[in-house]
Structure 1
Amino acid sequence: MGKLFGTDGIRGRAGEYPVTAEMAEKLGAVLGQIFGTTGKAKILIGKDTRESGSMLEEALCKGLVNAGVAAVKLGVVPTPAVAYLVKELGADAAVMLTASHNPFEDNGMKIFGGNGFKLPDEMEAEVEGLLLAVETPSGLAGAAGSVSEFPNGGEVYAERVKESVSGVDFSGMKIVLDAGNGAGFQVGVEIFKDLGMDVISMATEPDGKNINADCGALHPGKAGRMVVEHGADLGISLDGDADRVIFTDKEGSEVSGDRTLAICAMSLLKAGKLSSNTMVATVMSNLGLDEAMRREGVSVVRTGVGDRLVLERMREEGIIFGGENSGHLIFSEYATTGDGILSALQVCKLMVESGATLNELAAIMREYPSTLLNLPVSEKPPIESLAKLQCLITQANEAFGDEGRQLIRYSGTEKKIRILVEHSDEAVVNEWIGKFKKVIEEEIG
């Protein structure tokens, strides 16, 4: 991991290094330097609903203009809209100002290339190197950039998303949509209503501070209670930038991201669209996903954490579908990144075409008992340097055999260490979670 970039762009507390106005201005200058070598570059800027978005947007525009770039402000739009529009509008790159599922105090900068994909490792490293080398932002001699607005980006994106379910009759379907007071608060509601669904919307009044606050993908129970209250077919909970989605069934129960991955993979398999009978998931997905897919003749390729890594593997191996159990689903036939709204439409489409409830579809797999514990840390020493922890990991692997697994890693976006333990026996999970927690507290504090 670099000094600036985590698993998904640059992220941190807004106003504190590295998410400062100065860094945003530097980023504008650096992107102008990289993408403006063949003439005047055009770079798009989108943002979610955080109050700090305007500060970063203004600084980024200043850096881009000083570098001779045509900066185009999209306003509040979902991250997948930015990924689509950068290619649709013929831009050279795009920046999405968001901290995704994090609280409003945080913000960040996700960068997309002109092809709609997040920057590959080597280009990300180039951007980071230039950012760290620049003391203060500086313009280019003779540069004369510009700033304009493209307020119709949400509408253009919406038409693209609706095309993915063309011909499906959604009349009679009732949904609860929790927009998390984030980037999907307006366009998300409009898309589902335009397709004829009965939409009960919630968390659609962002005030700059309530994004992800007790709502959205991190709190799907809120939508679940509304589903039961209104007799809806399902609940759809988006995160702050609408690139993730978590579902709740008609009984108000959360459907895990892994069950959703299994549902979608099987739908593509039956439609003859699952290339090489293979899907991509991360190391965080439950062992039950592998078990269910193996039973159906589907291979599961594992990657590190982050939808960018999932998509890179998909592109490398020509795989059409993949995602994360956190709610990122990537349908490469339609999108170049995770898209919560598009993914929700695919699940709704499957429900209509199969005539099955989400409960029935989710029964495709069983989940191994699993616990994910997040512990705050003040520093992140290399995990391999922690002798007691390494000894315990070896013991766990020997004890688990094929019946379970452990995964210990640092968060790529927060000062936390994540401890995952899965096993066919829940008592074993609880025992080893306690052991790992104790050793980590002893060695890191």
Structure 2
Amino acid sequence: MWYLDSGCSKHMTGQKDLLSIYTEKFCGNVRFGNDQFSPILGYGDVIQDNVTITKVSYVEGLGHNLFSIGQFCDKYLEVHFKAKRCSVCTKDGKELLVGTRKSNLYTINLSKVQTDNQVCLLSKASLQQSWLWYQRLSHLIFHYINKMVTGKLVKGLPELKYEKKHLCAACEKGKMKRATHKPKPEHSTSSPLELLHMDLCGPMRTQSINGKRYVLVIVDDYSRYTWVKFLRSKDETPEVIISFLRTTQVNLQKPVKLLRTDNDTKFKNKTVEDYLESVRITHQFSTARTPEQNGVVERRNRTLVEAARTMLSQSDLPLFLWAEAVSTACYTHNQSIIHHRFSKTPYALINNRTPRIKHFHVFGCRCFVLNDRENLNKFGPKADEGIFIGYSQTSVAYRVYLKKSKTVIESVNVTFDEEVASEQSSSEPVLTGVLASG
């Protein structure tokens, strides 16, 4: 019979015959309640059926077998006391040992422990032992070392509980990884324009047909509505940001409260900061070399670039039309991507109306645009053949690349031949030879 004691710091017994693998060693003295002392002459393991209690001290003259409550707690176990019973449990609530109360003593009978509960109450290994086996096992994490002990998966490893008291400098140098960035449990914003994410993508190796090499991507945190602005150089960034903020706040009749960007000088400069301070917009920066903190716009950047690359590849158009492809992808995604929080499109969330997409056409398909720009003779063709490359951002019109003049025009008088685009995926592109010279 074993008793629970909150005063002793070790499991102790006065019956030497209970101990197996006994080690004779003087480990100090124990003071009893009558102020008498008794020596700890050694220690061993108590093994009874499926219960193993390691490093139990042998105290000469001790009349009871004592479990240390403190030692249970040091092993990350929980000890529960009720009116007529007590229990020793794991963190997940599994009962390892159960005892009963007799008068004012709680006792545990090891012979009554259920045979399907495999219990191994391990003593803590010393710091030197822990790090010795840690290095012997090639810096294996302590969780797996303890798992090998409790599951008896290997032989020769002392049955102790191994703990990591401090960092291993070698592991930090050899195994260091980036910090995880878990998604927020709650949404940061409750209305459009409350928070805007910005990032500048570029420079592109091929400049666009209008001489642009950078694209500024702006994402509204609440609706995920996206804007794209194309720049010739990074120096234009402050001017474009200020112009965008002024125009957007007027168009949507809502104030911008917070701006989040990376730490690059294109965003962190006196021109931008002076303007934001004058209109009382807070500017937040992500930590250097930590793009995950500005992940909303970084992910949208990747989505737009991948969509544009796919559209150019499918239509077999030249790379100088990359800006048109990015703009078209942004335009269609705003009206088609479903926001998982609201089950609505970004366009519906920011404009409070359902988008219409009947006018959508296949990017890169052949089209014909009315020629109302030149004086034609009586029998001249009334339409020019072109390639559909997107939608106008300033008016209700389509953008068409004219093959004859190699220019881009905007017009509503356009007819489309989308069947050609569908055939291009399985046969040689019809437009390849025409655009090669462009």
* TM-score (norm. length: structure 2): 0.21
More helix by share: 1
Q: Using structure 1 for the length normalisation, give the TM-score.
A: 0.20
Q: Which has the higher contact order (CA 8 A, sep 6+)?
A: 1
